[in-house]
Structure 1
Amino acid sequence: MSENDGGNETGDQTGGALSLPARAARSAVLAAVFTCAACGLVYELALVALGSYLVGNSVTQASIVLSVMVFAMGVGSLLAKPLQGRPVVAFAVIEGALALVGGLSVLVLYAAFAWLDLYVPALVVVAFAVGALVGAEIPLLMTLLQRIRRQDAGSAVADLFAADYVGALVGGLAFPFVLLPLFGHIKGALLVGAVNAVAGIAVVLWLFRRQVRRAARTGLWAGMAGVLAVLGATYALADGFEVSARQALYRDPIALATRTPYQEIVVTRRVALSGRPDLRLFLNGDLQFSSVDEYRYHESLVHPVLAGPRDRVLVLGGGDGLALREVLRYRDVREATLVELDPEMIRLARTHREIAGLNRHAFDDPRVRVVAADAFSWLRSASGRYDAVVVDMPDPDDVATAKLYSLEFYGMVKRLLAPGGRMVVQAGSPYFAPKSFRSIEKTVRAAGLEVVPYHVDVPSFGDWGYVLAAAGRTPALTLPADVPDLRFLDAEVLRASTAFGRDLRHRDVEINTLVHPRLVDYENEEWKDA
């Protein structure tokens, strides 16, 4: 295109009309490729992580995002073909749009989930838009590289993809280890959008500024400033937005909210008309306890398993300390080891006035040993024997938690059981999730343990079930002879807890293993309409 053609770019020049020597210019474009690739992967990971947190089932969320984005990248590459005649302007416009869409993506999806109940359709639209814009980058960048210095296609592709893949590596590592812990989902995406705008627009416009007409150049610089202004203003308002959106997800006022490398912890508090406070703990949006009735859950979980030997007790999960509280009510428990993934949950249970009051400052008991580790990994190298094991894990709604209900997991627990030792597992609701409940029961049995399933009513949860297990013989479901004074559980309630209605009896289900996590399918199928 010549100077008189009336277009936005002044010609398809090679080497000339650049702001730097050819070698330096080429390095600058490859640096832009590197940065844009890093930003693109961060957008992708942010969508997957947000979906896993809000909806659960990380495999499904990753599949939706990756498949839609890869398809859209192909579409974007095709749509970019007519733009290769004006690659500088086209690339700058695309990067501005990508910075805006990618930077705002998490905020838009959070709003769609919190207020509109349109998360999945919004996710597909956003993933497609980001993917199409990312896909359009490569043909245009290839054209820009050839403008600097023509080279054979193989060498140009090798250089471009090398920079692209290394950038993706950096973006992939930066998201979980830097952006998410330091800035969170929303601010992290906005920050990356700003970097994307500067790297994608400013570098190219500065490098090829002599090849772009003044009016177009001015418009593009103004556009970049507008994108940065929108992202900056949104960043300034992000905290307020997040508070409002998060509150929309919870019935009661939020008293505390924090995001750790492992999960989001939310504590809500309200006072009923009767004056009784109701403190609730949520992990990634799932209710863990209500102070009004948590004693029903924890008494039913802990005391039956302690009817046997209990010199050394192991608690897997239960970072709130409430199961530990019940264990420590027996003075002949010599040692209680608690393995909890999230150190922040342990810190909160120790220091939060109301939670520490509920667990009766269990972590201050000298008999307690706390291990901050993934229970599955810890079991692989654990030694010693335990008389009683309490497995109090979050519900298995994704593969990360489903492994804590797997055949392999229970096999490792069995290895640690002392002679006559017993294990109890919280197994979800036999009413709302009967397949999940029976799959857990069947999986424990498949690990070589004899089992007794039972269930009680916990108003905050509904009908809730447990599996008591022992090696060699069926464990007796009884209370210890020296059981302390309990608020809910007694021998009569425990006897009745083994009775299941006809609609809750055995289901044709599969066991849950690491390579075949059927429990995730059961959980998501059964709880979606609960």
Structure 2
Amino acid sequence: MVLLVAVFICAACGLVYELALVTLGSYLLGSSITQTSIVIAVTMFAMGIGALVAKGWLGRPLLAFLAVELGLAVVGGFSVPMLYLAFAWLEFYTPAMVLCAFAIGLLIGAEIPLLMELLQRLRAQDAARAVANINAVDYIGALVGGLAFPFLLLPLFDLLIGTLVVAAFNVAAAWLVAFALLRGRRRLGQASVVCALVLALLATMAWKASEFEATARQLLYRDPIIHAERSAYQDIVVTRGGIVGPERADVRLFLDGDLQFSSVDEYRYHEALVHPAMAGAHRRVLILGGGDGLALREVLKYDDVEEVDLVDLDPAVTDLARTFEPISSLNRHSFDDPRVRRTSADAFTWVRENTDSERFDAIIVDFPDPDSTATAKLYSQELYAMLRPMLERDGRMVVQSGSPFFAANAFWCVRRTLAATGLSTVPFHVDVPSFGDWGFVLATHGPSKLALPAERPAGLRFATPEVLRAATVFPPDRADRPGEVSTLLDPAILDYTRSGWVGY
């Protein structure tokens, strides 16, 4: 019975380690499909090698199992901090991740043959029956581990602490097997001491986890970090640099390591994004994304705006923008305006649920760049087709579309995908120093020109009629080019974005 409990624990822990590597890779690199494929492929291959290697250890299965289990506790428990350090300090993440996945898979693969040998020695039984019992418990353990990871471990602990907790279960499995087979012998005391030492090592890492994470995270950013948190959806970091110009320090927001704005020049981006959409009627405005409240700030400059719906996935971002002074002062406390209705939801789902019931005069689409499968769907033909009936007949929609210089194919893919829904489009681009050359697409039901409202708010620092006229001119190296439309089943924009930014 104890050996079957050990099988259950081993299976659950092994799957959690795989999921932890996939999750960490998604956090750091954003490519969930690639990370999942690499981790699973390498781990499964290594498990086969581990099973073969274990044949040479069957002469001393108990000692080998204890060594494998404690080794897995150390390698698996320390996998997240060591890979984070490899990413932040050495810029050596993918090779390190492959080595880590191989080591974990090698040790996981050795567990079952050793436990099978111990089970046979403890109680002789038909081999087929023993295999059936072990496989059944192994699969149940994997189910529990797979469900515990997203629904228990991550909500209760962060990724780093969670893997250390799981490693403690590996130590527990080792000690349980040792206790069952060595009870009353001197070697049980020796095994207990070694297990205690490994537990102490894991506990020390857990004690220093916050300090380690803060130090490693700071290596990724040029300026001092003034706020950092891991929400249910992403890593949120705010930095503050030195004084730039006479006004303020350079405050920057990063989501999963990607720059969202710099306080020094964000007004260029947000004036270009918002005010062309406000050139028509703008009684009701929809903002998709824009959880930092900066696009909202520009919308609220119009006194005749009656209602603004802002839909952003992560409530942690909008809460930060509302309560964290370096950002709330920048967005002029826009979330406190009574005209604003904030919704925390997946924008795709929200649009699908409201496409037949809601109508807006202006729609502003301010999503993160489509560099992952999760964000690529937000640039799909299906989403734009659902937004089209939500836009009033004389309404205007502006979509942030990335860089026509660094990722030109992705930029023009946005225009092409919008046009595929029957909307008329006007692409334009402006210079935002912290981003580089940055582009947008204006979409309307009929032919339209890029323009500012006739009665626009005073004090705009960047957007002028002359600037917008120039913004529609693209030099030959950034001109329109043929390509595919991006859809849910064929997210062409994902490949365009990744290939465009690969050299930068």
Q: 2-side partners of 1:142 and 1:412: how far apart?
A: 56
Q: 2-side partners of 1:437 and 1:362: how far apart?
A: 29
| 2:420 aligned partner | 446
> TM-score, length-normalised on structure 2?
0.96
Q: 2-side partners of 1:478 and 1:273: how far apart?
A: 31
Matches within 5 A, 1:19-418: 26=1, 28-199=2-173, 201-209=174-182, 214-215=186-187, 217-272=188-243, 274=245, 276-382=248-354, 383-418=357-392
Aligned partner letter, 1:241:
F
Structure 1 runs (4+) greater than 6 angstroms displaced: none
In percent, how many aligned pairs have the same letter? Answer: 58
- The answer (yes or no) to whether the contact 1:430–1:465 under 8 Å persists in 2 is yes
The secondary structure found in structure 2 opposite 1:330 is coil
Q: How many residues align?
A: 500
Aligned partner letter, 2:333:
H
Per-residue deviation at 1:218?
Answer: 4.3
The secondary structure found in structure 1 opposite 2:399 is strand
Render the CA deviation track for 1:133-166: whole Å, top value 9, x for unaligned: 1111111122223233333333322322222222
Unmatched 5+ stretches in structure 1? 1-25
Render the CA deviation track for 1:287-337: whole Å, top value 9, x for unaligned: 001111111000000000111121211111101111111111112211100
TM-aligned CA distance change 1:274 to 1:477, over 3 Å:
closer
Q: 2-side partners of 1:152 and 1:377: how far apart?
A: 53
Aligned partner letter, 1:389:
I
The secondary structure found in structure 2 opposite 1:205 is helix
Aligned partner letter, 1:135:
G
| 1:478 aligned partner | 451
- The answer (yes or no) to whether the contact 2:244–2:264 under 8 Å persists in 1 is no
- The answer (yes or no) to whether the contact 1:48–1:65 under 8 Å persists in 2 is yes
Render the CA deviation track for 1:221-254: whole Å, top value 9, x for unaligned: 3322221121111111111111111000000000
Render the CA deviation track for 1:38-65: whole Å, top value 9, x for unaligned: 1111111111111111112111111111
The secondary structure found in structure 1 opposite 2:8 is helix
Unmatched 5+ stretches in structure 2? none
Render the CA deviation track for 1:179-230: whole Å, top value 9, x for unaligned: 223321211111211121112x11100111159x744x44433322221121
Q: 2-side partners of 1:439 and 1:49: how far apart?
A: 29
- The answer (yes or no) to whether the contact 2:289–2:313 under 8 Å persists in 1 is yes
- The answer (yes or no) to whether the contact 1:57–1:524 under 8 Å persists in 2 is no
- The answer (yes or no) to whether the contact 2:254–2:260 under 8 Å persists in 1 is yes
- The answer (yes or no) to whether the contact 2:273–2:398 under 8 Å persists in 1 is yes
The secondary structure found in structure 2 opposite 1:313 is strand
Render the CA deviation track for 1:75-128: whole Å, top value 9, x for unaligned: 111111122232221111100000000000011101111111110110010000
Render the CA deviation track for 1:3-56: whole Å, top value 9, x for unaligned: xxxxxxxxxxxxxxxxxxxxxxx2x22222112211111111111111111112
- The answer (yes or no) to whether the contact 2:47–2:105 under 8 Å persists in 1 is yes
Q: 2-side partners of 1:419 and 1:133: how far apart?
A: 63
Per-residue deviation at 1:440?
Answer: 1.4
- The answer (yes or no) to whether the contact 2:244–2:250 under 8 Å persists in 1 is no
Q: 2-side partners of 1:158 and 1:312: how far apart?
A: 63
